[in-house]
Amino acid sequence: MEDSFEDLIASYIENKVGIAEHFLTPELANHLKQNLLDLNQRNALVTAGIGNSDKLLYDGAIRSDSIYWLDKKHNNVFENEFFTKIEAFIVYLNESCYTGITGYEFHYALYEKGDFYLKHLDQFKNNPSRKYSMISYLNSNWQEVDGGELLIHQLNNNQKISPTQGKTVFFKSDELVHEVLVTQNTRMSITGWLKVD
């Protein structure tokens, strides 16, 4: 477990984008993916908005994915296993990097063919509590022709990251403008933020 934590932190220190190829085990990723597919089958996902509860907008020209917020109260064994891993990472991050993270929030994100999310920052102007963004991907057998890459914009160093199953990406929420390129296949992830409340 700590190897994937160190992969995230070391690569983050190197170029402001942490990547761990196997943060999620294949078994956990498959179970989470099945949860997401089951929720979608039951029409439990909602159209994703832009902004927070104080200023929430819906604009399909900017963002076209659907989401479902995770919560320990749902008592889903696999989602709680994911939360346990996130909590262990937070302890490791706070002890090794003195980040002071005190909380988190995560949701499933589903992009159908043709969906995208234009350039944005993850930290709200009216609420700076989101400190780090984390995305864990649930897409097995993802091919380059499927598109749907995460494109992170950095000066002279744009980085395109394929959403392959088990991979987790980690970066500062207020620093890096990023976007999800148009996907040509169903694209699934758990996306969220480590917070200081």
pLDDT in tens, 102-161: 999 999 999 999 999 998 887 766 668 899 999 999 999 999 999 999 999 988 889 999
- List the strands of the sheet with 159-161, edge to edge: 117-120, 177-180, 150-153, 159-161
What six digits make up the tokens of 185? 């296949």
Residue 51 is predicted with a pLDDT of: 59
Residues above pLDDT 90, as percent of the chain: 79
Residue 88 is predicted with a pLDDT of: 97
Residues in CB range of 54: below 8 A, 6 or more apart: 126, 127
CA 40 from chain centre, in angstroms, equals 18
Residue 157 is predicted with a pLDDT of: 81
pLDDT in tens, 14-37: 999 999 999 999 999 999 999 999
CA 60 from chain centre, in angstroms, equals 20
Please name which of 61, 76, 189, 55 lies closest in space to residue 115, comparing C-alpha atoms. Answer: 61
pLDDT(53) > 60:
no
CA distance 149 to 180: 6
What six digits make up the tokens of 109? 């994100």
